[in-house]
A = this chain, B = another copy of it.
Amino acid sequence: MSKEFIYVQHVQFGDCDPARIVWFPNFFRWIDASSRHFFAECGVPPWHETERTTGMLGTPLVDTHARFVKTASYPDVLHIHTSIAEWRTKSFVQRHRVMRPASGDLIMECDEVRIFAARRSEDPKSIYAVPIPQDIRRLCE
């Protein structure tokens, strides 16, 4: 079981396009913010700290799958419900459901596959997926 946290996003005028709805790339900006917000709320130290202490430098995205259900627009207030849907050996699935609480509508949902990454000591420009850190997993459950 995973914790779930809600990230609140106020849609702004400039987030919308000439069709008067949120231009879809903006959802991915907000989902990335919600991904980070989730770990912070779980009590995971920020990645610049874990990089110093354990070498783990963040959770790069390797795959994302989004389904757009209803449109949103300025000045909607959106709630992004974020949790971990699945832990794999070297990756995990973070699930984001973007809701508009005023109408009860699901706006879009997105499953992201992310890894925990560290730098190769022999080539600091190269990163690789480390096994799921068990202390971080425990904080998220």
Contacts and interface: CB of A to CB of B under 8 A. Distances in A.
A65 interface: yes
A9 B112 CA distance: 25
B68 A65 contact: no
Interface in A1-26: 10, 12-14, 16-20, 23-26
Interface bin, chain A? 20 to 34
A87 to B, nearest CB: 20
Given A13-B18, A14-B32, A17-B14, A24 B68 contact: no
B18 A36 contact: no
Contact of A32 (B12, B19, B66, B67): B12
B13 A17 contact: yes
A28 interface: yes
A13 B25 CA distance: 12
7 contacts: A13-B18, A14-B25, A14-B32, A24-B61, A25-B29, A46-B75, A62-B67
